[in-house]
Amino acid sequence: MEEEKFIQELKDGKKFAYSKLIELFEQKVFTTCISFVPNKEDAEDIAQEVFVEVFKSINKFKENSKLSTWIYRITTNKCLEFIRKKNTKKRFAFLQSILGNEIPFDKTQYFTEMNHPGILLENQEQSEILFKAINKLPEDQRVVFTLSKIDGFSNKEISEITNKSVSSVESLMFRSKKNLKKLLENYYKKNM
């Protein structure tokens, strides 16, 4: 289906176009979500939020980029928003525990839980270690690394999704690999 015509049908509120959009992007959006948030239920919730946002905002889509790029940008932003909220809750729970109003919240639990469907059980422990390390990266590096190495986007596609130049993406990727190597080296030195 020609993209311009499809976008217009979405903007016109055609139900079949919305169904087609979900059919085309549901699995890809979910895969991106679970790459950032390795918990199936949370990733499904975020994916639903992405489609709600796409449907609400389709009339604001200026068509400066491909529809898929715009959807992945929304997906990435929703995932980062979720992670920020989760981290804020952790800080709040920590402060409450200091003040004596303890809230039962395991600060280490969230990103140690690995329910990524693409991970075989025997690789689960190594994957948990890797995802923990990825989540310790600065946000820009984490986004670029995840989109590249987990979701398989090219540097050009990542550039479009993140609104950064290709050289900036390459630089962030270089630094993310360097930082991950350091994080994983430290982990294995302590645990071997």
List Cβ<8 Å contacts ≥24 apart for 104-111.
Answer: 110/39, 110/86, 111/38, 111/135
Task: Kindly report, as residue ranges, where domains of CATH 1.10.10.10 are found in the chain.
Answer: 119-192
Considering the entire predicted model, what is its pTM? Answer: 0.68
Per-residue confidence (pLDDT) for residue 89, from 0 to 100: 54
Q: Can you read off the two tokens belonging to residue 58? A: 């389709």
Asked whether the beta carbons of 162 and 76 are under 8 A apart, the reply is yes
* Residue 100 Cα distances to 40, 86, 92, angstroms: 33, 21, 12
Task: Kindly report, as residue ranges, where domains of CATH 1.10.1740.10 are found in the chain.
Answer: 1-116
Q: Mind listing the pLDDT tens digit for each residue in 134-178?
A: 888 898 999 999 898 888 889 999 998 998 999 999 999 999 999
CATH among 3.40.50.2300, 3.40.50.300, 1.10.1740.10, 1.25.40.80 for 1-116: 1.10.1740.10
Does the 119-192 domain belong in CATH 1.10.3720.10?
A: no
Q: Mind listing the pLDDT tens digit for each residue in 33-86?
A: 988 887 889 999 999 999 999 999 999 998 888 999 999 999 999 998 998 887
